[in-house]
């Protein structure tokens, strides 16, 4: 799994991720993985993915082939993931089944998004949330959320809050580890 965080503070946003990949009980640490960054860039947007390791390659392929994707606000992100869902099924062989009583097919993707417009989260039924301060995803999310909550008021920058979240996830979650990757962006929308 992973620890992903997004933070909005002052006039900037940050997105960060740990670097560990796990396959059951096997750990692939950053020192053995040439491409350990779990955050992909699409224009001026950074997207952190957690869940299956396959999501990274699939999403990089989607972003390269579809130049008209919009991640600028909550409803645009929803429409983007709605548009991508049939492509995920038809071209990438996504298994959209989770639970028998789910109201919708799943994309099987959990993602955190950061850009100049803010910070967002996308979950498997294409639920999209816009966050005002910070959020975390992945197996280390509870540790990251607690750490970021504890330091947010006293910490000066989005970068410092994000680092605290990832460090807590890496310290206490067995499926997360350092080093981290972190990207900062100026906030263009107040």
**What are the average pLDDT values for consecutive 10-residue runs of the chain, which has 190 residues?**
96 97 92 95 95 86 88 96 87 78 81 98 93 98 98 97 98 97 90
E strand or H helix that includes residue 75? helix 74-92
By CB atoms closer than 10 A (0-12, 13-18, 19+), residue 154 is exposed
The beta strand positions in the chain, using DSSP E, are 4-9, 12-17, 21-23, 26-28, 39-42, 45-50, 110-115, 118-122, 128-131, 134-137, 181-186
Confidence (pLDDT) at 104: 80
179 preceded by a cis bond (ω within 30 of 0): yes
């Amino acid at each position: 799994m992973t620890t992903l965080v997004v933070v909005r503070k002052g006039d900037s946003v940050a997105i960060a991720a740990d670097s560990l990949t796990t396959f059951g009980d096997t750990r692939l640490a950053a020192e053995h993985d040439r491409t350990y960054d779990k955050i992909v860039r699409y224009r001026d947007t950074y997207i952190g993915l957690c869940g299956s390791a396959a999501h990274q390659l699939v999403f990089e392929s989607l972003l390269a082939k579809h130049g008209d994707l919009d991640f600028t606000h909550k409803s645009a992100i929803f429409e983007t993931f709605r548009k991508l869902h049939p492509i995920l099924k038809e071209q990438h062989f996504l298994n959209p089944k989770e639970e028998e009583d789910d109201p919708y097919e799943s994309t099987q993707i959990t993602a955190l998004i950061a850009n100049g417009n803010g910070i967002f989260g996308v979950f498997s039924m294409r639920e999209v949330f816009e966050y005002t301060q910070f959020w975390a995803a992945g197996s280390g999310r509870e540790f990251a959320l607690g750490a970021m909550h504890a330091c947010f008021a006293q910490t000066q920058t989005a970068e410092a809050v994000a680092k605290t979240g990832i460090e807590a996830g890496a310290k206490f979650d067995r499926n997360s580890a350092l080093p981290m990757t972190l990207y900062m962006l100026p906030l263009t929308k107040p």
